[in-house]
Amino acid sequence: MSLFEDPSNIELSEEPVGPGATILRNFAISEETEILSGLSDVVSKAPFRHMITPGGFRMSVAMTNCGALGWVTDRTGYRYDPMDPESGLPWPPMPESFLTLARNAAAKAGFKEFVPDACLINRYDPGARQTLHQDKNERDFDQPIVSVSLGLPATFLFGGLNRTDTAVRVKLTHGGVAVWGGPRGCDITACCHSRQAIILWWAAIALT
């Protein structure tokens, strides 16, 4: 069942927001039942948690992962790790619906050969936010980041390669997918101002 209106009535559109960055409006709506089912399965095996930064601060965003690697942070630093530090077990496998959506969205945005091996899942409760930051833990900077938004709207900022560059404020709504690549190190942030939003991020990490 759709969370919102009939998927057959949803209009798809592409919205460029900067060099190598595109928002695919409503791209995931037709697959939301499978995505939400996959999300429920992942969370049952690796529940959301609030990680601790190297500086000792508790993150306001709740996180979990699936796939061959998971993004983690603790007092030792930021990294991708094959093991869930809370359970000591490998992260849950990436659901096929996640993999298919990420690859299709990347291809739509011009990245034809994208094969993600990591998916970070962020849950933004009321007041949760991430500050403007740069994604630098990936090994292959030619690969894109693919992000899908579920739930209530969130505000997303795309910055430039430098901290002083003006950020573009973008409203993300349920079923929208953001894809960015090309000029790497682009500052990003996301915040939710009401109720709850869930954002899934896919990346290709262990490419050789």
- Give 162-200 pLDDT, tens digit per residue: 666 677 788 888 999 988 875 433 334 444 333 346 677
Q: What is the mean pLDDT of the chain?
A: 79
Q: Which of 91, 48, 95 is nearest to 68 (CA)?
A: 91
Cβ-based neighbour number of residue 105 at 10 Å: 23
The structure's pTM equals 0.81
Percent share of the chain, pLDDT over 90: 44
Pick from 87, 79, 82, 76: nearest CA to 54:
76
> What's the pLDDT band for 132 if we cut at 50, 70, 90?
very low
Does pLDDT of 113 surpass 60?
Answer: yes
Most confident range (mean pLDDT) of 16-25, 85-94, 111-120, 134-143 is 85-94
122 CA to centre of own chain: 7
Q: Would you state the pLDDT for residue 86?
A: 96
**pLDDT tens per residue, range 5-30:** 555 567 889 998 877 789 999 999 99
Q: May I ask the CATH class of domain 12-203?
A: mainly beta
Would you state the pLDDT for residue 51?
95
Higher pLDDT, 203 or 194: 203
What residue spans define the domains of the chain? 12-203
Please check whether residue 173 is in contact with residue 114, taking contact to mean a CB–CB distance below 8 angstroms: no
Instruction: Pick the more confident residue, 14 or 159.
Output: 14
